């Protein structure tokens, strides 16, 4: 990285090119965020960038690198992370920082294997990041320079909104809210559609209505970020009307809030146990 541009990346090493890794790589290539990309994954690269001259594909880590990468992106499955880091520990990268998108693995794992002063940024993207509409939370350890943090931010922001955390302890709560959050929204679509079927709607019609209602509502919320979600809800709710009748069930005795409190607490606690 150069002093002239604190987010300039020459060589990026991507470990793992599965669904999230390949989606991120595609966006990095499109936005020209690095000059050279080295991808290490035993599977063939997707056709969309397999023939890109900027990308060098390797089946496994080589015995040595001719040049230190500016950043190593760790996008492997958590089950094999330790083994991959053990392999990396054999290299001496004097100017490299590590950006992890490996779910559930804390920064201390990197520091224990690669060295206590290794600069590490841990991030938690959610699945909409694969289409550039995600929300990504990230936290950097004390050994990450301002220049490296800026470079990590540039890489992550191309996939959606980036939120920096001050404390890694909050990452389990982030995972419970936004990491797992898309599944809750998809469940809402399923639930709305099934309820519509029980009211007599054909299954395909109920699903179309449910999906587009969620999509449209999300778009409306996005178009007016200054309006609280509670106000958007009230705007749909006429006194004594149909929406109020439904909300009396969903919000009565804080039923829905209590359900989500319990669900997210379970997700957070599971995240702590896995890490």
Entry pTM: 0.88
Kind and range of the H or E run holding 29: helix 19-30
Residues 6+ apart with CB under 8 A from 44: 50, 57
Check which CATH number belongs to the domain holding 164 and give it.
3.40.50.720
CB-neighbour burial class of residue 129 (10 A; exposed 0-12, middle 13-18, buried 19+): buried
Residue 275 has pLDDT above 50, yes or no: yes
**What number of helices (H) and strands (E) belong to the chain?**
11, 8
pLDDT of res. 4 = 37
Give the pLDDT of residue 7.
Answer: 58
Looking at the structure, tell me whether residues 97 and 134 fall in a common domain. yes
Q: Are 48 and 24 in contact (CB under 8 A)?
A: no
Per-residue burial over 215-254, b if 16 or more Cβ lie within 10 Å, else e, is eeeeeeeeeeeeeeeeeeeeeeeeeeeeeeeebeeeeeee
Return d(Cα 133, Cα 172) in angstroms, integer: 21
pLDDT, residue 115, reads 93
Look at strands 36-40 and 11-15 and give their pairing. parallel
Q: How many structural domains does the chain have?
A: 2
Decide if 205 is inside a domain: yes
Of 155, 171, 187, the residue at which a domain comes to its end is: 171
- Please indicate, yes or no, if residue 158 is contained in any of the structural domains: yes
167 shares its domain with 213 = no
| Within-domain flag for 115 | yes
Residue 50 has a pLDDT of: 76
Q: Looking at residue 92, what is its pLDDT?
A: 80
Residue 135 contacts residue 126 (beta carbons within 8 Å): yes
One domain, residues 198 and 153: no
Burial of 103 (0-12, 13-18, 19+ CB in 10 A): middle
Residue 3 has pLDDT above 50, yes or no: no
Residue 219 structural domain: 179-274
163-176, pLDDT tens digit by residue?
Answer: 999 999 999 999 99
User: What is the spatial distance between Cα 72 and Cα 7, in angstroms, rounded to a whole number?
Assistant: 15
91, 75: one domain: yes
User: Which pLDDT does position 224 carry in this prediction?
Assistant: 95
Do 55 and 73 form a contact (C-beta atoms < 8 A)?
no
Encode pLDDT of 43-79 as tens digits.
Answer: 888 877 878 899 999 998 888 787 889 999 999 998 8
> Do 184 and 145 reside in the same domain of the chain?
no
93-146 pLDDT, tens digit each: 888 999 999 888 999 999 999 999 999 999 999 999 989 999 999 999 999 999
Using alpha carbons, list the distances in angstroms from residue 205 to 7, 157, 216, 243.
48, 36, 16, 20
Q: Is pLDDT above 80 for 14?
A: yes
Note the pLDDT tens digit of each residue in 218-272: 999 999 999 999 999 999 999 999 999 999 999 999 999 999 999 999 999 998 8
Q: What is the per-residue pLDDT across 120-134, written as a single tens digit (0 to 9) for each?
A: 999 999 999 989 999
145 and 90, same structural domain?
yes
140/92: higher pLDDT: 140
For the cut 90, the answer to whether the pLDDT of residue 206 exceeds it is yes
* H or E stretch covering 135: strand 134-140
């Amino acid at each position: 990285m150069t002093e002239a541009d604190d987010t300039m990346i020459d060589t990026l090493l991507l470990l793992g090119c599965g669904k999230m890794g390949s989606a991120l790589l595609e966006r990095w290539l499109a936005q020209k965020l690095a000059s050279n990309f080295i991808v290490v994954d035993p599977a063939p690269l997707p056709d969309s960038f397999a023939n890109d001259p900027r990308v060098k594909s390797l089946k496994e880590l080589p015995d040595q690198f001719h040049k230190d990468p500016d950043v190593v992106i760790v996008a492997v499955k958590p089950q094999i992370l330790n083994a991959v880091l053990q392999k990396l520990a054999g290299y001496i990268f004097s100017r490299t920082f590590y950006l992890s998108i490996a779910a559930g693995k804390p920064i201390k794992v990197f520091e224990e294997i690669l060295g206590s002063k290794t600069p590490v940024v841990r991030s938690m993207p959610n699945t909409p990041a694969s289409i550039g509409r995600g929300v990504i939370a990230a936290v950097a350890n004390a050994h990450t320079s301002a220049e490296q943090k800026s470079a990590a931010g540039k890489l992550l922001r191309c996939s959606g909104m980036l939120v920096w955390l001050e404390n890694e302890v909050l990452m389990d709560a982030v995972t419970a809210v936004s990491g797992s959050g898309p599944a809750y929204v998809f469940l809402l679509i399923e639930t709305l559609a099934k309820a519509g079927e029980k009211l007599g709607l054909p299954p395909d019609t109920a699903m179309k209505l449910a999906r587009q209602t969620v999509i449209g509502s999300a778009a409306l919320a996005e178009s007016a970020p200054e309006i609280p979600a509670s106000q958007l809800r009230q705007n749909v709710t006429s006194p004594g009307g149909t929406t109020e009748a439904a909300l009396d069930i969903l919000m009565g005795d804080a039923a829905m809030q209590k359900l989500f409190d319990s669900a997210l607490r379970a997700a957070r606690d599971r995240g702590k146990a896995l890490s």
